[in-house]
Amino acid sequence: MAGASPVRVTDDERPGWARLVLAGRVTVTDAHPLHAAAREILARGANVAVRCEGVEHLDTAAIQVLLSLSREVRRAGRQLVVGGVPGPIAEYLRLAGLAGQPAA
């Protein structure tokens, strides 16, 4: 039986922002839903707040999708912020160039 998706898009409390919430193990099997969620946010024309409090693991496919989203958001003149990243995963995101973002 499949569990709940580790990827969901919600409205952020800030106007003009959308929230991409990640939880659990986000792996290559989740790359398509993660990419679809990223495209949904881009279509909204919103800034992006990525929330990672519940993340246990991000594999390289998930990080690649986040990097792609970051580039697309910047090209569109919007902001992407990443917050709530657990310790070991924060190092992976730092190495990928996604750390040092303002708090989401």
Domains of the chain, by residue range, sit at 7-95
Specify the pTM. Answer: 0.83
> Any idea what the Cα angle at residue 40 is, between residues 36 and 44, rounded to 5°?
165
Give the DSSP H/E element, type plus range, for residue 82: strand 80-83
Instruction: Fill in the DSSP letter of residue 44.
Output: H
Q: Does domain 7-95 bear CATH number 2.30.300.10?
A: no
With beta carbons less than 8 A apart as the criterion, state whether 65 and 36 touch. Answer: no
Place of tokens 């024309």: 45
With beta carbons less than 8 A apart as the criterion, state whether 78 and 85 touch. Answer: no
pLDDT for the residue numbered 3: 63
Mean pLDDT of the residues in the chain: 86
Residue 89 has pLDDT above 50, yes or no: yes
With beta carbons less than 8 A apart as the criterion, state whether 17 and 48 touch. Answer: yes
pLDDT for the residue numbered 1: 39
Instruction: Fill in the DSSP letter of residue 29.
Output: G
Residue 96 has pLDDT above 80, yes or no: yes
Residue 22 has pLDDT above 80, yes or no: yes
